[in-house]
Structure 1
């Protein structure tokens, strides 16, 4: 019995060691054929202007579904608000899609995407589309979307595809069709600047659980071979996902809501990849991530800069992630966003910095569509 106990103990130690090795010392990530070389990526980036823009949802939409569904697609607001972006010299927007929209009505969805791209093109703005997202609400459906909860950041934003489908590969046929279909439809469209396959994949506690779908998403996208670069942004220190992302992204994208000095450190570390870099989320005023401090750093290193939020609206992103205001009163310091729906701005100082650094100092000085006004 004693020998059996010792043998069992040894077996458990070995099993535990294997588990630790598997989770903390993973094998090399799969690398899919078709990834651009660093030279190809640099050649593509050299043809682009310095990319400055925002994550865009029209102020009348609470989430991706409300933005894109046929009965709530608001081309008038989209046109007006992209005009605000053009007016401060922005030239790129990062925009979220959703798999349910494709699975429900692929042809209608493609038509609305094309309509959106026509509007953006009139404003000289390129679009980076995001296919999947691990953030915020896990329960959702097509149809009428909820109204915003007062003072709650992104109270109605939804994940794609959500936990149930993430963990059930038998449902991935629709996700594969969506990934291949939407990329194929615009794979050589000059209005689309890049494909961001998965927003913060390990968020919501997914961590290792997301790895199979994240891996498949890269595989599906590579089959299409779009003329635009493929990427996924790093946002935390989860080693397995970051290794996969770095091994398969044509260009390096990342999120950073830190103060300027730490942002600069992050950029210098990412430069070691030898590939072009775009920050696809930054600017959280109460965390000292601001246009005045961070945008000069991005320009110094020729790193693209896409802040979170353009116009205050139903997403409620003027409120901080961790500081709800149930009263719904406007916070004294906005967390994200630049404009109010009427075109007035949160801070004339911020807008002046954006205009100056994008090389458009004369914009807005005689504007008839926007008003400069501090809160």
Structure 2
């Protein structure tokens, strides 16, 4: 979900766009009950050995998927809130995902959904997993996220800003609660509660604990916390510890996305991510050569590797270019976007600077149109061929 970098010759240039003043969040602290009892610690609760990680990875087959949000949801809150959770649409869209050759989706959750109504949220998650399983799709769930709007708010979500890429996506936990020690109980309950629900359920692929934790969300620079990096660096190891206490059968990870991954030059958060992940995950929106080079940087870690975000056609990150490399390197790969919809991620990142008044000549992200037809037939043929599902979709 890397927002607004401009890749040219492997370099990333961030753009800055302050947008609005902070919104007031509802008080959610009263929704947190006392922390539930956790499994007794054992050797199993530590980071997986490289051998265990490789054994797990070999048993999955080649993982090919997409980041998924229902086409009628503007963000992760709208997708999973009771009033807008759309089982029929999930069923029809995941059926399309399977037909084009995908076997997994990466799906974003949110702590406020847990704090508001943990039982209802758990039921909706169970429904989602059951629907996905019927189509042979396993979700990789994302628990926290540092991208975009730092002031998430429950309830009816604002409509998308016309012509703007991902204009209503929200951070989790958000600026108001990221440094509130009282809210740690909510966060811990959320992590352990969601993982406990599926800790032995192999229909769930894994747990991506924090998306791009060191992303500065430059589009919201005017209202971002100045101490966000420090607060996330303090929280991320705790999130890994909370998840470890549950000892799920699925691996834990948090994907690196920017900067230098060399051991001598990693920043604090990248070091935490790579030192704690059972399987290594990364994001890359560059061309096939850059994608291949990033894999080379991570291979010395000696663990399975998955790219949990790629596909930016305007930057040379394409299905036909990247996916064959992923197959050759045995790297799992998730496009950004399955369906074109309210997130408007078919529009480029630069739409934040100048909103588009007409569809772009070349879509940025996303594979399928709202009616389920491919944006590009050749891309779908490539996916099906590379995943062994050749023939008409």
TM-score of the superposed pair, with normalisation by structure 1: 0.87
Question: For the structure 1 residues 327 and 286, does the alpha-carbon distance in structure 2 shift closer, same or farther, using more than 3 Å as the test?
Answer: closer
Is the Cα–Cα contact under 8 Å of residues 151 and 176 in structure 2 kept in the other structure?
Answer: no
Name the counterpart of 2:362: 333
Q: CA deviation at 1:308?
A: 0.4
Tell me which of 175, 182, 186 is aligned to 2:194: 182
Q: How does 1:337-352 map to 2 (within 5 A)?
A: 337-352=366-381
Tell me which of 349, 353, 356 is aligned to 2:382: 353
1:194 aligns with 2:206: yes
Name the counterpart of 1:132: 144
Name the counterpart of 1:372: none
Find the residue that maps to 2:335 and give its secondary structure: strand
For residues 141 and 243 of structure 1, what CA distance do their matches in structure 2 show? 31
Q: How does 1:53-72 map to 2 (within 5 A)?
A: 53-72=65-84
Tell me which of 270, 274, 281 is aligned to 2:302: 274
For residues 109 and 350 of structure 1, what CA distance do their matches in structure 2 show? 35
Is the Cα–Cα contact under 8 Å of residues 311 and 318 in structure 2 kept in the other structure?
Answer: yes
Find the residue that maps to 1:164 and give its secondary structure: coil
Where structure 2 has 5 or more consecutive residues not aligned to the other structure, the ranges are 1-43, 218-227, 260-265
For residues 240 and 134 of structure 2, what CA distance do their matches in structure 1 show? 31
For residues 317 and 196 of structure 2, what CA distance do their matches in structure 1 show? 36
1:294 aligns with 2:322: yes
Is the Cα–Cα contact under 8 Å of residues 314 and 362 in structure 2 kept in the other structure?
Answer: yes
For residues 171 and 52 of structure 1, what CA distance do their matches in structure 2 show? 36
For residues 317 and 51 of structure 1, what CA distance do their matches in structure 2 show? 23
For residues 219 and 307 of structure 1, what CA distance do their matches in structure 2 show? 29
Find the residue that maps to 1:84 and give its secondary structure: helix
Please provide the CA RMSD for this pair: 1.3
Is the Cα–Cα contact under 8 Å of residues 277 and 304 in structure 1 kept in the other structure?
Answer: yes
Tell me which of 57, 60, 74 is aligned to 1:48: 60
Name the counterpart of 2:250: 228
Is the Cα–Cα contact under 8 Å of residues 89 and 363 in structure 1 kept in the other structure?
Answer: no
Tell me which of 104, 112, 117 is aligned to 2:116: 104
Q: CA deviation at 1:328?
A: 4.0
Find the residue that maps to 1:234 and give its secondary structure: coil
Q: CA deviation at 1:363?
A: 4.0
Tell me which of 145, 162, 167 is aligned to 2:179: 167
Q: How does 1:23-34 map to 2 (within 5 A)?
A: 34=46
Q: CA deviation at 1:327?
A: 4.8
Name the counterpart of 2:344: 316
> Per-residue CA shift, 1:60-99, capped at 9, x if unaligned?
0000010001110011111111111111110000000000
Is the Cα–Cα contact under 8 Å of residues 313 and 341 in structure 1 kept in the other structure?
Answer: yes
For residues 120 and 100 of structure 2, what CA distance do their matches in structure 1 show? 32
For residues 315 and 110 of structure 1, what CA distance do their matches in structure 2 show? 24
Where structure 1 has 5 or more consecutive residues not aligned to the other structure, the ranges are 1-31, 365-375
Q: CA deviation at 1:33?
A: 5.5
Find the residue that maps to 2:126 and give its secondary structure: helix
TM-score of the superposed pair, with normalisation by structure 2: 0.83
Q: CA deviation at 1:345?
A: 1.1
For residues 229 and 94 of structure 2, what CA distance do their matches in structure 1 show? 35
Q: CA deviation at 1:169?
A: 2.4
For residues 168 and 213 of structure 2, what CA distance do their matches in structure 1 show? 19
Is the Cα–Cα contact under 8 Å of residues 347 and 356 in structure 2 kept in the other structure?
Answer: no
Name the counterpart of 1:211: 233
Higher helix share: 1
Find the residue that maps to 1:319 and give its secondary structure: coil
Corresponding residue pairs, total = 333
Is the Cα–Cα contact under 8 Å of residues 88 and 363 in structure 1 kept in the other structure?
Answer: no
Query: Higher relative CO (CA 8 A, sep ≥ 6), structure 1 or 2?
Result: 2
Find the residue that maps to 2:168 and give its secondary structure: coil
Find the residue that maps to 1:309 and give its secondary structure: coil
Question: For the structure 1 residues 34 and 262, does the alpha-carbon distance in structure 2 shift closer, same or farther, using more than 3 Å as the test?
Answer: same
